Chains A and B, each alone.
Chain A
Amino acid sequence: MFDLGAGTQMLILFFLLLALRLPVAFALGLSALYAMWTLGFGLDLVGDLIATGIAKFSLLAIPFFILAGALMGSLGIAERMIRFFRVLIGALPGGMGVVGTVVCLFWGAVSGSGPASVAAIGPLIVKGMEEDGYTRSFAAGLVCTGAALSIVIPPSIGLVIYGVIAETSISQLFIAAIIPGLFMGILMLLTLPFARKTRTVEGSPSLDKLMPAPYADLPYGRRLWRSFLDSFWGLLTPVVILGGIYTGAFTPTEAALVATVYALLVGGIIYRTLSFKGLYQTLADAAAASSVVMLVVAYASLFGWVVTVDDLIGQYSSVLLGVSDNQWVILLVIMVILLIAGMFMDAITIMFICLPIFLPVSRELGWDPVWFGILVMINLAIGLFTPPVGINLYVAANVTRLPLERVAQGAIPFLLTAFIGLAIVAAVPEMASFLVELLG
């Protein structure tokens, strides 16, 4: 009765180790080594599995997208973009809410990771929104949500990993994610009119001190034109990245390399913000950030090997297929599992654990792997800001110095729009397939 297979023992051990606050990567590796030891074979493959798990050309997109995003931040390219959007729409009543949303989405289109974006752009947006009459907790919730969507909006590290696991074209995934990602962002805007108080919060620290409004004395048209010129090269980044992939000129890895060199050139030649020390620090930071993701990938490849050898996939996916005859019920079950998992763990780990089980099911049911990938990513994004344990909520609580409950409160309206968005993207597969077919 209690004769559990090595694979199932591994899963249980993994969760026990997580509870001890072992890093997720280590918990994956240790439980996989234990399972190999119980099975009596596989240990001699460990070195090779780790090396080949990391050294893949398609995964190279990850360090370079992270580096490009980090350079955009440290070279002041991102800040210029925020300034531009502030001048463009910030002066409208409640406009800072729109600015916050747009900047989050735009940032998602140049970087590709969630929690880091909250820390990078969160403080500026929250300050600006507060001055404009939104509550701080609502602003924090907006940043959590907008930053979470950056794992849906291309270039997305999550989609790179999905493409590798599902053996699906990463370029197609990127293109398919554009409309659903933007749609989710536009839905966020619907909450703004309900959230704004008419009176401005008195005594909140001024955004003008943190980030002086550029060319305040000029008329709107000229001010807009000037700040457009200032931020032109930064605004061009998504065009360079996505345009290259879109037209088929670059693979995602090549696009990431081009974006990195582009950021270096803009910072070095045009803005002259590139310094030796700054470059060194950014390179080291980006290397560490990429390694956090990649160490999970490395140890997950041991974990995945055991899952395959022990035929966990067969067992669990047939259980899942047996849940119902209705494919929508099965999809719902998958989404609930992803959502709950997303509240506790990072997107990368969840994909390595769950996708080997979900993908055969989705193939069996004849689902389009690209569409399914977009749904998985939206689900994992929602998990990032679902109370009580979404990671982004913690980062935002830290950045805004609000108690977690208040940030969670602010996130609830966006949770509502996100679920509506998810349901619509699930029901209308054309949202994902339209651009892919148009360009295919």
Chain B
Amino acid sequence: MSLILRDAEKIACAIIFLAMTALGFANVVVRYTTSYSLASSEELLTNGFLLLTILGAAIAARTGDHLAVTLIFDLLPKSLRKPVLVLAGMLSAVLLALSAWFSWELVSNQMSSGIRSYALQIPAWYYSAGMPFGFALILIRYIQHIFDTWESLTSTEPEHV
């Protein structure tokens, strides 16, 4: 159970990615051999990609792999680093919470308007439903990362005193 909690997005990403590879390759083979193209597979692939991106962003948030400019932070005096870290963490949290909120609004708009997808004609919110939860997960993982960074800043402090 703890493994699933810790690695939920990794497992989900691996499954989605593999399924996308299989579907995409099948589409290439079908197009190449029969001159038919599956419009529905394009819809599934691009929306799988949406979910893959947001869940993958949670993996990268946990490990702190999202690209950042570290130059100025590294020039800061040690005493200022923790306050800046907290400020940056809070600002990031605001953005991710807003992203979750606005994508939730997208989902509920799509539910109430009853809009359908262009190829498969299924309700459009099926595809966007994962977004708010995905952004919430990025938020959790990023806060975990900020705590890790805080601890590493604390542990390196005594050397420089």
Contacts and interface: CB of A to CB of B under 8 A. Distances in A.
Interface of A: 17-26, 29-30, 33, 43-44, 46-48, 50-51, 54-57, 59-60, 63-64, 67, 249-250, 253-254, 257-258, 260-261, 264, 279-280, 283-284, 286-292, 294-296, 298, 344-346, 349, 389
21 contacts: A18-B69, A19-B73, A20-B91, A21-B72, A23-B68, A44-B105, A51-B127, A51-B131, A56-B46, A64-B21, A67-B21, A257-B28, A260-B25, A287-B56, A288-B13, A288-B59, A288-B65, A289-B65, A290-B52, A291-B53, A295-B66
Interface string B94-119: 11101100111111000000000000
B5 to A, nearest CB: 15
A287 B94 contact: no
Given A33-B95, A257-B21, A287-B59, A60 B46 contact: yes
B98 A288 contact: no
Contacts of B21: 64, 67, 257, 260-261, 264
A122 B69 CA distance: 22
Contacts of B95: 26, 29-30, 33
A30 B17 CA distance: 29
Interface residues of B, number: 58
B140 interface: no
Contacts of A254: 24, 28, 31
Interface string B1-19: 0000000001101101110
A63 B53 CA distance: 9
Contact of A295 (B13, B53, B87): B53
A192 B131 CA distance: 51
A356 B128 CA distance: 28
Contacts of A26: 66, 91-92, 95-96
B19 to A, nearest CB: 11
A55 B43 CA distance: 9
B57 interface: yes
Interface of B: 10-11, 13-14, 16-18, 20-21, 24-25, 28, 31-32, 42, 45-47, 49-50, 52-57, 59-60, 63, 65-73, 84-85, 87-88, 91-92, 94-96, 98-99, 102-107, 127-128, 131
Given A22-B68, A26-B95, 12 more contacts: A18-B69, A29-B99, A46-B98, A46-B106, A253-B24, A258-B28, A260-B25, A283-B18, A284-B59, A287-B10, A291-B55, A295-B57
Helix, strand, loop or mixed for chain A's interface?
helix
Contacts of A291: 52-57, 59-60
Contact of B66 (A18, A25, A48, A280): A25
- The winner among B28, B42, B84, B94 for most chain A CB atoms within 10 A is B28
Contacts of B25: 257-258, 260-261
B10 to A, nearest CB: 4
B136 to A, nearest CB: 14
Nearest to B28: A254
A29 B47 CA distance: 21
A30 B60 CA distance: 19
Given A23-B66, A57-B45, A47 B105 contact: yes
B56 A20 contact: no
Nearest to B89: A22
A253 B127 CA distance: 21
